[in-house]
Structure 1
Amino acid sequence: MGASSVPVPFILPADRVKKYLQVADGRDKALKIIQYCIKVVLWSELVTKTRHADVHQRIKSVASHFSTTRKILRLAHCVEPYLELRDLLREGEPWRSMRDMAKKGLHTRGVMQVFAVVIAGLGIVNDCVDDVICLAKIGALDKKWVDRLEMTSSRMWMASIIYDILDNLRGMGKIATDLAMRQRALATAIASKEVDADQLATDRSAVAALEQKLFVQRVSFFKLCADYAFDYVDVFHVTGRRGDGIQAIAGLIAALLSTYKLWLKAK
């Protein structure tokens, strides 16, 4: 028997891990999980400066370096919101929505389409500001830019999070409605016993796909809520141990949920 035919039981799906880590966002989230696990450990005082001085200093340094590495990985991230803005303007949906609202008055879909353009533009500015902050923190620019721009970055991120939450809820409602219609149609088809097996399999696949889509949308919602809690601390100046705890736990939850979403895409 050749070596290639010997079955080797791998518990870890290596190909999927490789595909996940090849994406810059995957590396960013992997580092973020470790960074915020350390922050939770430090905040909960499982490792303290008095009792474990050496270990405390080491893991605190690791968290700091991981934070800097993540910022470097995200340099030039402004390309992503730029492409979103380009696609939105090419499709022309915002312009149609504006013309429609001018004739018929405001409606939710139209307002969200217009805000999508605003938020994409804001995302470009926010990412550029984050790049300046990163370059200032690593010494490539004057460090005074950090203090000047950090609050601006936090406020722009807060605006984006609020929009994303509203858009997520709107999308979740639409998916839930479509799923309910599909489930009723499938139940009717099964009860009638007049649909062929191929059509029934197609309908079941469509229902399963919508269920998965709704599940991912809910994961995104909770991730956005964690982002909001994290940014709330910076925007509204929640200081001390409470602020540190909120950001440590919210950051870890957001990292885990983001990683789970990327892991699903890496299938």
Structure 2
Amino acid sequence: MALTASWSDPRPYRRAISRPPTPPLEPVSPPKSGPLSPALVPAPLPSPSPPPPNVLQTLNALFVLSDGRDKVLKLTQYTLKLVLYYRTRPSPFAITPGSPLHAALLTFTAQLSITRKLLRLFHFLDPLDTLLQRKDANPLPTLLALVNDVADDVYCLSKIGGLPARWNGIAERWSLRAWFTGTLLELYKQAKTRRRLRQQQKDVVDPQSKTQVDKKLFWLQLSIFKLVMDAIFCAYDLFPIRSHLVLQTWTGLMSGLASSYKLWCKARLLI
């Protein structure tokens, strides 16, 4: 009986084979909002680049500038002068000197010169403001620009009857002197800057910085080319040079092309 009773009681065996109690489950809180993994962040769509400005838009922006209109008239003026020079030479398509067409083109080119000066009337206010504000460490180039602009205005007004006609000769001489001297000073300054940029071009290693230096050097060399053309053109009027007069017309055209290209690029940025 005792044996039967001991086997019939299963409680000791239940305790021996029972598993450890399972710990209570903790409630799981939802994930907090935060930055996603870089792998899960969708890449932004590339913004469409604006279309490049067309020729008409650029011309419109160019003609808004008084300098732009001046340069377009300058190109027209010296192109016609070259046409007159080469068409009056013996050829099947020559323009006979003294013919109505020849006289009309001569008058037109002369009027273009006065029109360009009219467009630049009161331009002396810019260098005058610079002098009054004392913005330049070296005021001599600005002073020469002021003399040049005032003399140009006096010459223009005397040509159209606003001032006595006898003043145009005096004003023209002072304008040429100031222009020529200012051009030489600017050439010297640009040549020093060019040497400095040349040295930077050799020393720079970063490709992006090298591209920026190359771009600055390109625009600087274009400005130097224009200044050289201006100096040659002005020398023909200031000094008694009578040989190869067509060279003066060519230098005027080359200067106009260089400055027009700079203004064209500037006008594209304004659109």
TM-score by length of 2: 0.73
Matches within 5 A, 1:167-206: 167-182=189-204, 185-186=205-206, 203-204=207-208, 206=209
Structure 2 gaps of 5+ residues are 1-50
| Root mean square deviation of aligned Cα | 2.3
- 1:20 corresponds to: 62
SS at 2:161's partner residue? coil
Counterpart of 1:69 in structure 2 is: 115
1:221 and 1:176 map into 2 onto residues whose CA distance is 14
- 1:119 to 2:141 alignment: yes
Instruction: Determine which structure has more spread, i.e. the larger CA radius of gyration.
Output: 2
Structure ranking higher in helix proportion: 1
Displacement after TM superposition at 1:173 (Å): 1.5
Deviation at 1:242, TM superposition (A): 2.5
Structure 1 position 36 matched with structure 2 position 78: yes
Question: What is aligned with 2:221?
Answer: 218
Q: What is the identity, as a one-letter code, of the residue corresponding to 2:108?
A: V
Q: RCO greater where, 1 or 2, for CA within 8 Å and sep 6 or more?
A: 1
Work out the CA distance in 2 between the residues paired with 1:148 and 1:140: 15
Shift in CA distance, 85/174, structure 1 to aligned 2, threshold 3 Å: farther
Per the alignment, residue 244 of structure 2 pairs with 242
| Unaligned runs of at least 5 residues, structure 1 | 1-8, 95-113, 187-202
Tell me which amino acid in the other structure corresponds to 1:145. W
**Letter matched to residue 244 of structure 2:** R
The alpha carbon displacement at 1:52 in A equals 7.5
The secondary structure found in structure 2 opposite 1:242 is coil
Larger mean CA deviation between 133-142 and 173-182 belongs to: 173-182
Distance 1:83 1:209, change over 3 A: farther
Q: 1:233 touches 1:246 (CA, 8 Å); kept in 2?
A: no
2:127/2:145 contact within 8 Å kept: yes
Matched letter for residue 53 of structure 1: S
Distance 1:19 1:179 in 2: 34
Residues in 1 aligned to 2:130 and 2:255: alpha-carbon distance in whole angstroms:
22
Q: Distance in 2 between matches of 1:16 and 1:146?
A: 36
Identity %: 30
Name the SS of the counterpart of 2:163 in structure 1.
coil
Kept in 1: contact 2:117–2:156 (CA 8 A): yes
Q: How many residues align?
A: 214
Residue 254 of structure 1 aligns to which amino acid in structure 2?
S
